[in-house]
Amino acid sequence: MEASGKLARDEKSSYLNRMNGWIDHYILQQPLLPQQQQQQQQKNRILKSRPFRLLVVIYILFSVLFTGTHISSWLFSTKDAWTYQRTYDALEPYSLVSDMSHGLKMSKLFSKGHYDALQYVQPFWQKASVIPDELDTTIITTTTPETWKDLVFLAKSWDGPISATLHVAKDASIKATIQAEYQSNPSLFKNVDLHLIETPTGIKQSVSVLVPLNVERNLARIYARSQHVCDMPLNTILVTELRQTLLKHQTKYAALMKKGDMLVIPTFKHTSGQEIPVTKKELVGLVQGEKSLVLHDAHFESNKGPTDFETWKASDSLYKVTGYTMDYEPIVIQSKTVQPWCSERFVDKRSACLLSSYLAGNDFYVLPSDFVIYKPTTANAAISDLDTVIEKRLYAKFYWEQCVYQGRQLDAMGLWNTAKSDHIRQQCSRVIQNWGRGLIGKPE
């Protein structure tokens, strides 16, 4: 018994001696100069002390156990746990963007809007309770207190996702009234996302260069919660089962829009009477027989626009628009992510939202059976005469600019000598000859 105890004490002593020797080897150093010997002796007494060496041993054991625990938890964890995470404020979402003021973020997001106006933007001021399917189509639109009833009507007839910007003056009572109606109407609180824009105090005109309607359209599009969007004016009536048509041909239409192509919804307006047809056959009868309705492509003569009434009347499948011009601004269904954004230099220019896409090589395809009708009593957004003149002049310059810009884009991607550049060659041949000679394609 005594022999075994002595053996254990000898082994323990041997182990401690080895540890002390290891510590002496790595920690204790002999002085190089004679005058350092006294200081070194004091340091050696500390390093050779039992408490210090015990702390070193504890630290080593803790490090080994800590490392082993983390390695074992990593080896036996699922792949989801391998994602890098912060070790500080782990429960708090953090980004450098979080430190920026809301107005600064909005003014960078919409660089043509005014900071003082954009700082009052509230995305998802009211958020719909139903989350739409990714391949669904979200109607994007703009509204004011004056057109609020039109939005309510649209929400009921569409019965699907809507992303709308609500532009109001800084008036708490107006917001309270709209909020109360929103929360009490199932068509609204189930499907409509409202993004609030408040006009700063002292500014009388809501539609202006401070926050152009094209900015509002982009705002509604950014926060749309599906992959496809449709910019639908509120002064229109959805007559046919458009939503069912899109769901029926979802795979085919989604493939077209993924390539950048757009689906055109023909638009009609009354010349007399207010009869609302519900089928294509009834509509054609009112256009050709009673002539109380006409195909309405803005900036074109009745029944003479690029949508082409004669082709639409006889068609039972999608057909391509062949008579495009720079002023064409139909109601289209398009990809939220593939299409260029509306140019925000314009107060209200829907054709500018489509020009860039067409010049980039994308096509318009007209839906053969669906249509919308403009309301006879609803006026468009009020824009001053000065803004109207400026818009026309700006758009002419914008057209030239887009011809050169989109041409250079196609050339940089190696698509200048392909069918993708057919549109820009047809629309911009004169501009490119004057501006782009040698910059686009091979020098002549």
Confidence of residue 444 (pLDDT cuts 50, 70, 90): very low
Residue 436, pLDDT score? 55
pLDDT averaged over the chain? 84
Residue 356, classified by CB atoms within 10 Å of its CB into exposed (0-12), middle (13-18) or buried (19+), is buried
Q: How far is CA 92 from CA 89, 97, 98, 179, 303, in A?
A: 5, 14, 11, 30, 59
Q: Rounded to a whole number, what is the largest CA-CA distance in the chain? A: 123
Least trusted range by pLDDT, from 17-26, 244-253, 364-373, 396-405: 17-26
Residue 193, pLDDT score? 97
For residue 188, pLDDT beyond 80: yes
Q: Which residues in 249-284 are b (16+ Cβ under 10 Å) and which e? A: eeeebbebbeebbbbbbbbbbbeeeeeebeebeebb
pLDDT tens across 273-300, in order? 888 999 999 999 999 988 889 999 999 9
Contact 214, 343 (CB under 8 A): yes
pLDDT tens across 93-152, in order? 656 666 777 788 888 888 877 777 788 899 999 999 999 999 999 999 999 999 999 999
pLDDT tens across 317-347, in order? 999 999 999 999 999 999 999 999 999 889 8
Confidence of residue 405 (pLDDT cuts 50, 70, 90): very high
Spans of all domains in the chain: 101-234, 235-376, 386-444
Residue 443, pLDDT score? 47
Q: How far is CA 275 from CA 223, 279, 373, 395, in A?
A: 36, 12, 10, 36
Residue 22, pLDDT score? 61
pTM of the model: 0.75
Residue 38, pLDDT score? 57
**Spatial separation of the C-alpha atoms in residues 24 and 26, rounded to whole Å:** 6
Residue 387, pLDDT score? 84
